[in-house]
A and B are shown apart, each in its own frame.
Chain A
Amino acid sequence: MLKFLLDRDTWQEVFDSLSKNKLRSILTMVGVWWGILLLIGLLGSARGIENAFNRLFGDFATNSVFVWGQSTGMPFKGFQEGRRVNLSLSDAKKIEENVEGVEFVLPRIQQTKMIKRNFLSGSFRTAGDYPLLDDLQKKKLIHGRFINQNDIDNHRKVAVISDGTYEQLFEKNEEVIGKYIVIDDINFKVIGMFERGNLNLGPSTDVHIPFSTFRQVYNTGDRIGWLMITGELDYDIVQIEEDTKLLLKNLNDIHPKDTRALASANAGKEIGKVTGFLKGMQFLTWFVGIATLIAGVFAIGNILLITVKERTKEIGLRRALGATPFEIKRQIVVEAVFLTLLAGLFGVISGGWILIALDHFFGQGEDAAIVNASVSIGVVFLAMIILIILGTLIGLIPAFKATSVKPIEALREE
């Protein structure tokens, strides 16, 4: 078989009979070409959109939930309804120790503060934070660094500010690192500046200072604003959220059925919706692509069947001249596979062009809708293998049809 495929005569025969009717050969190929084009184009776009989402989420810990206290909605254990719930550092510790599947618990506190610098001032959301925040919610630092453990241990008066804050408090192109800003009459040294991304999950912050410093200078004690909890990879973040809330209700004398006392935002759930949508889109892409491919291959089979009908006489003659039925079948199957593969190849190339065009029009810049729209080589090979298999199978139908007619009947046909 290999010798047959490497033989020049084989391809001469295929080329002859296909180029004999160029228009028909081209029309035959359109179906498969279109199928592959769709498959590559759609898969590439789906990948591009996925990439765009991934870029948007960045290094944000996607398996995370925020929990904060509000006021109670039910009276409990002698406390009246409407009592303010304040979460504390010890709550954070207990969650870390008791809730299954918790990876990190990050307490945060945030207040809106008046910040001044020289003659410029404004009110900014100022948060007391731990270095861990930078790991869970990757900050895009343009200058300097984020808060570190030393800052926490030494209660340093340092601040990491957002680009927006910088624009309000500093002159254009002014050096920022090492400069001082005044937060509620206390001087803080700026040690870093970060860029606010496109997507902010959880409350956004303008200025970060060490948690220990915040607690000391603003006298907040053990009080915290909210907790950010991340789950281990294998654990369901929704379950963690429920367990955490139950524990917190216990610790803070809240009625177990009170739905108002604790609020939460589950990033994992939200992001899960998006990734689920992307998965669905990918499935749809494969489905549409493969279905179109099959339709295309059937079109090839159909046309080859007509071709065989038209070539009955030629096939009869070839048999009279000594072609065995196997040789005839082989010829037709090779023609089918060749047409399918050629069409597939054109499809891959033009699909690639479409992706290049998509990238050109929608893939440029920071907040592109489609990032790096592409299809892996593996997918292309898989598509080609599917084409070879389908082409062979579909080629067998006209091939058997061609040899089912006796040579004499074939020759007699006018």
Chain B
Amino acid sequence: MLKIHQLQKSYAIGDSSLHVLKGINLEVEEGEMVAIMGSSGSGKSTLLNIIGMLDEADSGDYILDGLPIKNLTEKKAAVYRNKFLGFIFQSFNLINYKNALENVALPLYYQGMKRKARQEKALFHLEKVGLANWAKHLPKELSGGQKQRVAIARALAANPKLLLADEPTGALDTKTSYDIMAFIQQLNNEGKTILMVTHEEDIANMCKRIVRLRDGVIMEDKKVNQVSALQYV
């Protein structure tokens, strides 16, 4: 599903440069649920952004579903992002002047889907996250957990191969976090491949595999016994 080989990335800070990723090798199979952990500055977000085609590596290979991701034009990157990837952010990133349904339908709009089909599909995904009744509500009328559910519905709307979550529970309280995690686990059980960045051990343990980063290299990569989030709900 996903193959990364000798990935390097550095940022220029003033005159000096900061070497963030120092040769990352990673393979993720279909249906996996991987937590990327590490302290702040370990390069975990950078790695996720490169995987999400939001950022570009300096060197190394990145192959997604057999497609080499390299030297993409902005346009091509946009099309790939839309087709292959679903994003879930820590701060939800919903568009605040659009209601829940419109937010979920946005990736479909960029796919060029007709309005009616789009709304039906968006509603279907909202139903899936249990928020069909909130379709016409604006983000500000939703709780944090609800917002993240809408964001998950949005990430799912385009039926991506890979879900990328950047600290999906970072802005939520514990109970809501477990709630969201239970839902993500359910998605994984249904076959979705999920990659998430987190720095919370309990959240990481709800994944099937944990990859630990420190100073731009992978320190540890191990399968874990998945803790079901449902038992806390």
Contact = CB atoms under 8 A, between A and B. Distances in A.
A324 interface: yes
A411 interface: yes
Interface residues of B, number: 27
A324 B106 contact: no
Of all A-B residue pairs in the complex, the 7 with the closest CB atoms, nearest first, are A322-B82, A20-B97, A322-B110, A408-B54, A324-B78, A321-B107, A324-B75
Interface string B54-66: 1100000000000
Interface string A389-409: 000000000000001001110
A314 B55 contact: no
B87 A325 contact: no
Contacts of B93: 313, 317, 320, 411
A323 B55 CA distance: 15
A406 B82 CA distance: 16
Nearest to A408: B54
A11 to B, nearest CB: 12
A327 interface: yes
B161 interface: no
Nearest to A317: B93
B55 A408 contact: yes
Nearest to B166: A411
Nearest to B109: A9
Interface residues of A, number: 24
A411 B54 CA distance: 9
A403 B75 CA distance: 11
A388 B52 CA distance: 38
Interface in B140-168: 154, 158
Contacts of B52: 320
Interface in B47-99: 49, 52, 54-55, 74-75, 78-79, 81-83, 87, 89, 93, 95-98
A325 B89 contact: no
Given A321-B158, A322-B111, 20 more contacts: A9-B109, A16-B98, A17-B97, A19-B97, A318-B110, A320-B52, A320-B81, A320-B87, A320-B93, A321-B87, A321-B110, A322-B81, A322-B83, A322-B110, A324-B74, A324-B79, A326-B75, A406-B54, A408-B54, A411-B89
A360 interface: no
A326 B52 CA distance: 20
A406 to B, nearest CB: 7
B74 A408 contact: no
Interface in A315-350: 317-327
A326 B93 CA distance: 22
Contacts of B54: 320, 406-408, 411
B19 interface: no
A265 to B, nearest CB: 72
B148 to A, nearest CB: 14
B82 A321 contact: yes
B128 interface: no
Interface string B90-133: 00010111100010001101110001000000000000000000
A123 to B, nearest CB: 85
A411 B166 CA distance: 11
A8 interface: yes
Contact of A321 (B55, B75, B154): B154
B79 A322 contact: yes
A317 B52 CA distance: 12
A403 B73 CA distance: 13
Contacts of B109: 9
A19 B158 CA distance: 27
A123 B116 CA distance: 91
A198 B165 CA distance: 85
Given A8-B115, A16-B97, A20-B97, A321 B81 contact: yes
A395 B111 CA distance: 25
A324 B111 CA distance: 10
A406 B158 contact: no
Contacts of A9: 109, 115
Contacts of A325: 74-75, 78
A320 B158 CA distance: 12
Nearest to B113: A9
Nearest to B76: A324
29 contacts: A9-B115, A16-B102, A17-B97, A20-B97, A313-B93, A314-B95, A317-B95, A318-B110, A320-B54, A320-B87, A321-B82, A321-B106, A321-B110, A321-B158, A322-B81, A322-B83, A322-B110, A323-B78, A323-B110, A324-B74, A324-B78, A324-B79, A324-B110, A326-B75, A403-B74, A406-B55, A407-B54, A411-B54, A411-B93
Contact of B78 (A8, A19, A314, A322): A322
A8 B102 CA distance: 14
Contacts of B158: 321-322
A406 B54 CA distance: 7
B114 to A, nearest CB: 9
Contacts of B74: 324-325, 403
Contacts of A411: 54, 89, 93
Given A324-B79, A408-B55, A318 B115 contact: no
Interface in B145-198: 154, 158
B194 to A, nearest CB: 17
Contacts of B97: 16-17, 19-20
